[in-house]
Structure 1
Amino acid sequence: MKKTVLTVLTGFLFSTAIWGQKKLTEATIYYDIVINTNSSKPGKADMMDGATSVTYLKGNAGRSDMISSLGTQSVIFEGKTGSATILTSYGEQKFMKQLTPADWKDHNKKYENITYSIENEFKTIANYSCQKAVGKLSDGTTFTVYFTKDLVPVNTEFLFMNKNLPGLVMEYEATDGKTKVTNTVSNIDFGAVPMSKFDLPESGYRLIPYADKSKK
């Protein structure tokens, strides 16, 4: 009898944990961006400090907009084909770069074999309990993320940093030389995302080719 009760209780706790998770199929995610150049002299990167980023998810489609004092850069991902488009707008200069599925894979290849070591350290971000994980790239580069198990993204072909993690990344670091960029989720809206967010402009942008770094 005790064994039966224990089995039922264990099953109930496991089911509760699963029910507590939410598959993230449609949402608008807002990020705050903080930049640290580790330099006393102001540079171009400092103009990005205080920028914001917005990610739109709808099924296998995805879009991210980074808005700063320099301008706006958008990445629109077509989930059905695996292709992507990068739109850049700096003042009067507007550029469009179209990526094939192979180009998109090349664009994100440094994250292809990403692995994570999950640590027993937690903090709250946007009212979600988040756990620390240290990511490692194939070149040996490491970085820190905080993720929540409450939200599980399904579109990891767009949210590539979420691959091999049991939840949504809520904060992550990116480094470029001595410059460290920290992206932290400030809010998540689960309302419907209009399909128009994934429409491409028909004019006004100059088309430039994607440069495959592996061919240089």
Structure 2
Amino acid sequence: MALRGAMMGWGAGLLLGLLSAGRLLAQDTSRASHADTLRLKADTTKTGVRLMTEGTITYKLQSADAPKPEAAILASTSYVLSLKGSRVRTDFAGILGSTTTIYSSLTHAGALLQEYGQEKILIRMNKEDFEDLGKPSRMTYTFTGDTATIAGYPCKRAIGRTPAGDTLMIWYTPDLLPQNKEYSYRFNPLPGLPLAYEGRMGPSKVTFTAVKVSLDPVPSAKFDIPKSGGYREMSYEESKKVR
């Protein structure tokens, strides 16, 4: 039970830290979706650089210093970041359950969905809620000259420092620029999308490494908040008390 609770809390916090509640995008969501699809594979800047208006990045997770039970859980866990115009979805799924976040930087609203065993929880969140939960994830960066290739993309290394003083490594590719500059509290200062980075689960460092990057269109329905499905609704303030 302790491990399950730790994973629930860590997963929710980490995934919400990837989101952003920043400035309003100057576009209508329905019209943007069509325009985004048309521009999806267009080279909008210089050769080799692509504006990622929509698509998905699938990451694998691993930890070298986590206890064996937690390390095994992480190894069987997937994390998927989905982007479509002003909308963001993250899916964190493993043997203990799943955590999904849905957020629109156009409306500054979204929801957190958690499914663990028979328990299904829906937490609707506004701009202030996302900002509150994302504060610990904001980082300042130092850029290095190191390079690597990840998931077929050239990457550069940056060192991020959290408000708590943790130093974490990030590899980002300047060849993929997110159209939605406010998709992430943690990564929006980077001049490209992160394809490998470190996070924390308690005292353990966890490495996220991209194994697949898809620029295919993402269905709009993927970003809809469920209206049925047996979820028990909980307010953000209530969720803070049980986290």
TM range (shorter): 0.7 to 0.9
Corresponding residue number in structure 1 for 2:19? none
Q: Distance in 1 between matches of 2:210 and 2:111?
A: 24
> Relative to structure 1, is the Cα distance of residues 44 and 28 closer, same or farther in structure 2, using a 3 angstrom cutoff?
same
Corresponding residue number in structure 2 for 1:125? 150
Q: Distance in 2 between matches of 1:45 and 1:100?
A: 33
Q: In the alignment, residue 91 of structure 2 is paired with which amino acid? A: D
Structure 1 residue 189 corresponds to structure 2 residue 214: yes
State how 1:124-203 maps to structure 2 within 5 Å.
Answer: 124-203=149-228
Deviation at 1:156, TM superposition (A): 3.6
Superimposed CA distance per residue, residues 78-137 of structure 1 (whole angstroms, 9 cap, x where no aligned partner):
22111121100112110011111110111111234x221111111110011111110012
Corresponding residue number in structure 1 for 2:140? 115
**Counterpart selection for 1:70 from 96, 114, 120:** 96
**Counterpart selection for 2:115 from 67, 81, 89:** 89
Structure 1 residue 26 corresponds to structure 2 residue 51: no
Q: Distance in 1 between matches of 2:113 and 2:213?
A: 24
Supply the RMSD in Å over aligned alpha carbons: 2.0
Q: In the alignment, residue 151 of structure 2 is paired with which amino acid? A: A
Deviation at 1:143, TM superposition (A): 0.6
Q: Distance in 1 between matches of 2:141 and 2:133?
A: 21
Superimposed CA distance per residue, residues 131-169 of structure 1 (whole angstroms, 9 cap, x where no aligned partner):
111001233221100011101113243233222211111
Structure 2's unaligned 5+ residue stretches are: 1-43
Q: In 2, are the aligned partners of 1:98 and 1:210 still within 8 Å (CA)?
A: yes
Q: In 2, are the aligned partners of 1:172 and 1:184 still within 8 Å (CA)?
A: yes
SS at 1:162 equivalent: coil
Q: Distance in 1 between matches of 2:189 and 2:105?
A: 19
SS at 2:47 equivalent: helix
Structure 1 residue 100 corresponds to structure 2 residue 126: yes
> Relative to structure 1, is the Cα distance of residues 34 and 84 closer, same or farther in structure 2, using a 3 angstrom cutoff?
same
Q: In 2, are the aligned partners of 1:35 and 1:46 still within 8 Å (CA)?
A: no
State the TM-score, normalized to the length of structure 2: 0.74
SS at 1:182 equivalent: strand
Q: Distance in 2 between matches of 1:156 and 1:86?
A: 21
Q: In 1, are the aligned partners of 2:110 and 2:225 still within 8 Å (CA)?
A: no
SS at 2:46 equivalent: helix
Q: Distance in 1 between matches of 2:235 and 2:196?
A: 32
Structure 1's unaligned 5+ residue stretches are: 1-15
Q: Distance in 2 between matches of 1:130 and 1:183?
A: 14
> Relative to structure 1, is the Cα distance of residues 127 and 206 closer, same or farther in structure 2, using a 3 angstrom cutoff?
same
Deviation at 1:34, TM superposition (A): 1.1
Q: In 1, are the aligned partners of 2:62 and 2:71 still within 8 Å (CA)?
A: no
Q: In 2, are the aligned partners of 1:156 and 1:162 still within 8 Å (CA)?
A: no
Q: Distance in 1 between matches of 2:168 and 2:135?
A: 16
Q: In 2, are the aligned partners of 1:37 and 1:46 still within 8 Å (CA)?
A: no
SS at 2:157 equivalent: strand
Superimposed CA distance per residue, residues 15-43 of structure 1 (whole angstroms, 9 cap, x where no aligned partner):
x973321111111111111134443xx44
> Relative to structure 1, is the Cα distance of residues 127 and 45 closer, same or farther in structure 2, using a 3 angstrom cutoff?
closer
Deviation at 1:45, TM superposition (A): 6.0
State the TM-score, normalized to the length of structure 1: 0.83
Corresponding residue number in structure 2 for 1:48? 74
Higher strand share: 1
